[in-house]
Amino acid sequence: MSKLAFHKLNINKELPVKTINFNGTDIEVKQYLDLNSKQNIIDMAIEPSKLLPYVNRLLSDAIFSYLTVLSYTNLELTLKKEKEDPIKVYDIMESSGLIDAVFSAIPEVELNSLVESYKDAIEDYNSYKVSIKGSLDSALESLPQNLQAINSALETFDPEKFKILNELTAVVGIK
């Protein structure tokens, strides 16, 4: 079999865009999003939950939808208040039907692939958090604060205050 240079395929690099009309305004919706952009949506949707022992689906789903709309469309947040409160913008997008309109304009295979990857990432993250490695990583992350608290307690520790405990344990036979 002879080799063929990939660049000789003359693949069109321009991706198709579908235009929808929402409240009298035309919005361009990409029909495909590159893999790095999809991964960024997923990572950013899960990121706020990393401080919790599990992914907060209400929050992560809202961020996922918000980022998907912004990534697939030509919409741009221009006002300072829009940029400062993505959850409020999400609420407006959801209640106005904008999210449904944009999601409907994305090809089903494309959207399903993104949603399934997002769900898999959540499942993987939740499984990791309850695994032994996840527990050890969490313990190691909190170790500096715990050591600081122990050191602080040891600085104020007075063994004389606990002398009675030694006497009581001797009386009841605990060594």
Q: Is residue 27 part of a domain?
A: yes
Q: Output the domain CATH number for residue 50.
A: 3.30.2220
Q: Is residue 89 part of a domain?
A: yes
> Do 41 and 82 belong to one domain?
yes
> Do 109 and 163 belong to one domain?
no
Q: Is residue 1 part of a domain?
A: no
> Do 117 and 138 belong to one domain?
no
pLDDT at residue 133, as a whole number: 63
> Do 120 and 170 belong to one domain?
no
Q: Is residue 4 part of a domain?
A: no
> Do 110 and 162 belong to one domain?
no
Q: Domain boundary residue among 130, 147, 163?
A: 130
Q: Measured on CA atoms in the order 33, 22, 82, 94, is the torsion positive or negative?
A: negative
> Do 165 and 96 belong to one domain?
no
Kindly report, residue by residue over 95-126, the tens digit of the pLDDT: 999 999 999 999 999 999 999 999 999 998 88
Entry pTM: 0.71
> Do 41 and 100 belong to one domain?
yes
Report d(CA 165, CA 152) in Å as an integer: 22
Q: Is residue 6 part of a domain?
A: no
Q: Is residue 154 part of a domain?
A: yes
pLDDT at residue 114, as a whole number: 98
**What is the mean predicted confidence (pLDDT) over 160-171?**
61
pLDDT at residue 165, as a whole number: 58
Q: Is residue 3 part of a domain?
A: no
Host domain of residue 168: 134-175
> Do 77 and 147 belong to one domain?
no
> Do 172 and 147 belong to one domain?
yes
Cα atoms in the 13 Å half-sphere on the side-chain side of 125: 22
Report d(CA 118, CA 34) in Å as an integer: 15
Report d(CA 153, CA 18) in Å as an integer: 63
Q: What is the DSSP string of the chain?
A: -----GGGG----PPPEEEEEETTEEEEEES---HHHHHHHHHHHHGGGGGSSS--HHHHHHHHHHHHHHHHBS----SHHHHH-HHHHHHHHHHHTHHHHHHHHS-HHHHHHHHHHHHHHHHHHHHHHHSHHHHHHHHHHHHHHHHHHHHHHHHT--GGGGHHHHHHHHHHT--
Is residue 12 scored above 70 in pLDDT? yes
Give how many domains the chain has, as a whole number: 2
